[in-house]
DNA sequence: GTGGTCTAGACCACG
DNA sequence: GTGGTCTAGACCACA
């Protein structure tokens, strides 16, 4: 009904991932305020609790810090820590299974599209 | 406590995926019998209903067929149909998100390991 | 209105602390199931979400593990890890301030009651 | 980002406690002026309303008194009344829980550091 | 304005 | 039966 949300994953997870992506892409920088819980809830027509759950998880991960009465802000070095942490998690927890599937299905670089050989800029 | 199961996915899904992998890898060929529901349930200490659900899903996908009183058997051309179907599903439903993650994290072929350029044998 | 709950702390925190205390006191041992979310909610006349929040925190802390469809169970070595972790946290985060207060107020062992000199049994 | 404030307690409470500590430690004596709301707010980069709330609470407790146009001053016998009141509050409201935690964690005097046996001078 | 907590009640997937 | 997610709406403390 709402094309914004993917039904195969909880909404709070998608909100969380969206923020993570924005930090990784540099759209949210250190010290930037996150849109308020209420704002996101209203705009995306989602319950505030759902947004809060996502934000709480970001805070637990140290990606965001709360300032009483003011809101939530991207922490220092959030992007660097994210890159390191998410990379490790991806390579350890997701990639082995994905790679096995790729090989099992006999998929090739032509079908998958190219993955760069050199690291792209990170700064 | 039980390292056999991944908590991030339903057990019946993992059983189903395990059978699919065995077919793709050629460990289960056309006409081969699947291990009995009871055997799998006992050995993996899982509720028989859970195994049944996995097998039922395999039957619904046309990958196995029930023969009354005998059990379930891998159907003809199961591997070929699987390859086509799973490939399509993977490329459409999973790969785009995975690829976006890879790019966002700046992962390279060195870190991921090589993916063959040419299609490997499929028959 | 309900003497069970202390108004100065969130209920979910009190539920969490209650379970922690039961593990430390040996009333809940490795592998023991936690009372179900619904059971606690009904018995304590609290919303299931509130209980869930407490239980989720216990799971995040690794004190408890979820088994799909079965419930939540005390993990191996939960008590030992709790003792170590909670001790460290208490000594680092709470005790310095508490001790400063005690000294500032000029409180003595007579007023506070005795604290044992030797470690009590832990096993 | 600002190590001055502890997120687990409201800022106005922390300001209040800071003044109380200074009185108990003799750094602020009877008749001494409190730093102005504006000064504290500027220096600690806090909303003046927050400082005001802390000062108001101190005034409500009879620890300081407002003199129109001059500011706020520590009242007579502030330290003595504080000692009595805070002691009672601490022993009744905080110490029982703290002591239970200490015993549960099996903490000893060695780990906690020594608490004097005799009452130290009280003024 | 901000986030934090809670309720009542619903629907879902899993075993 | 279990936990998981979500909604709608309320009240609170804090700045």
Residue C2 lies in a domain: no
Q: Hey, are the CB atoms on A68 and D1 less than 8 Å from each other? A: no
Q: What is the CATH number of the domain that holds A47?
A: 1.10.10.10
Same-domain pairing of A38 and A62: yes
Same-domain status, D67 and D37:
yes
The pLDDT assigned to C119 comes to 52
CA of C69 to C1' of F1 (A): 8
Q: Which residues make beta-bridge pairs with B33? A: B73
CA Rg, chain A, in Å?
17
Pairing of strands C64-67, C71-74: antiparallel
Clarify whether residues A92 and A64 are in a common domain. Answer: no
Q: Of all residues in chain B, what percent carry a pLDDT higher than 70?
A: 91
Decide: CB of C50 under 7 A of nucleic strand E: yes
Whether there are 3 or more C-beta pairs closer than 8 Å between B and D is: no
What's the rounded Cα separation, in Å, for the pair C103 and C106? 5
Classify burial at B57, counting beta carbons within 10 Å of its beta carbon; exposed 0-12, middle 13-18, buried 19 or more: middle
Asked if residue B56 and residue B108 are part of one domain, the reply reads: no
In a domain, C3, yes or no: no
Cβ pair B46, B87 in contact under 8 A:
no
Same domain, B35 and B59: yes
Coil vs helix vs strand at C65: strand
Structural domain that includes position C85: 79-113
Mutate to test the interface with D, among C9, C107, C116, C118 (most CBs of D within 10 A): C107
Nearest-neighbour CA in chain A from B67: distance (Å): 28
Residue B123 has pLDDT above 50, yes or no: no
* DSSP run (H or E) holding C74: strand C71-74
Q: CA–CA separation, A93 vs C38, rounded Å?
A: 32
D19 and D39 co-located in one domain? yes
Q: Measure the CA–CA gap between B47 and B4, rounded to whole angstroms.
A: 14
What pLDDT, in 10s, does the model give residues B32-59?
999 999 999 998 999 999 999 999 999 9
Cβ–Cβ of B112/A99 closer than 8 Å?
A: yes
Strands D71-74 and D64-67: antiparallel
> What is the C-alpha separation between D68 and D65, in angstroms, rounded?
10
Residue positions counted in chain D? 123
Query: Smallest Cα–Cα separation from A53: which of C64, C44, C60, D1?
Result: C60
CA angle C45, C50, C53 (to 5 degrees): 150
Strand E contact at CB of residue A71, distance < 7 A = yes
Q: Examine residue D84 and state whether it is found in any structural domain, yes or no.
A: yes
Residues D94 and D53 in one domain: no
Which chain D residues are closer than 8 Å to A68 by Cβ? Answer: 7, 10-11
- Looking at the fold, whether A61 and A17 belong to one and the same domain comes out as yes
Instruction: Search chain C and give the residue with CA nearest B2.
Output: C67
- Distance (Å) from CA C58 to C1' F7? 26
In this structure, is residue D1 part of a structural domain? no
Q: Is C25 exposed, middle or buried (0-12, 13-18, 19+ CB in 10 A)?
A: exposed
Determine the 3-state secondary structure of A66 from DSSP: strand
Model's pTM, two decimal places? 0.85
Residue C122 lies in a domain: no
Report if residue C120 sits inside a domain.
no
What value does the mean pLDDT take over residues D61-82? Answer: 91
Flag whether C118 is in a domain. Answer: no
Kindly give the parts of chain A with pLDDT less than 50. 1, 121-123
Residue D70: partners with Cβ closer than 8 Å, 6 or more residues away? D33
Q: Which residues of chain C have pLDDT under 70?
A: 1-3, 115-123
Q: Let me know whether C92 and C68 are in one domain.
A: no
pLDDT in tens, C41-62: 999 999 999 999 999 999 999 9
Per-residue pLDDT averaged across B18-40, rounded?
Answer: 93
pLDDT value of position C30:
95
Q: Helix or strand or coil: residue B61?
A: coil
Residue D117 has pLDDT above 90, yes or no: no
Cα separation, B40 vs B35, whole angstroms:
7
Number of domains in chain A: 2
Pair (A53, A83) in one structural domain: no
Q: Residue D99 class from Cβ within 10 Å (0-12 exposed, 13-18 middle, 19+ buried)? A: middle
């Amino acid at each position: 009904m709402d094309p914004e949300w993917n039904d195969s994953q909880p909404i709070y997870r998608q909100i969380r991932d969206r923020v993570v992506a924005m930090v990784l892409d540099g759209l949210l920088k250190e010290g930037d305020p996150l849109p308020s819980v209420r704002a996101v809830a209203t705009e995306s027509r989602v319950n505030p609790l759902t947004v809060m759950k996502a934000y709480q998880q970001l805070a637990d991960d140290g990606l965001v810090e709360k300032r009483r009465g003011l809101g939530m802000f991207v922490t220092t070095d959030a992007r660097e820590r994210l890159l390191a942490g998410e990379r490790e998690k991806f390579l350890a927890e997701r990639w082995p299974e994905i790679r096995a599937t790729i090989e099992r299905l006999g998929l090739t670089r032509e079908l998958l599209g190219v993955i760069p050989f050199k690291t792209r800029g990170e700064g």
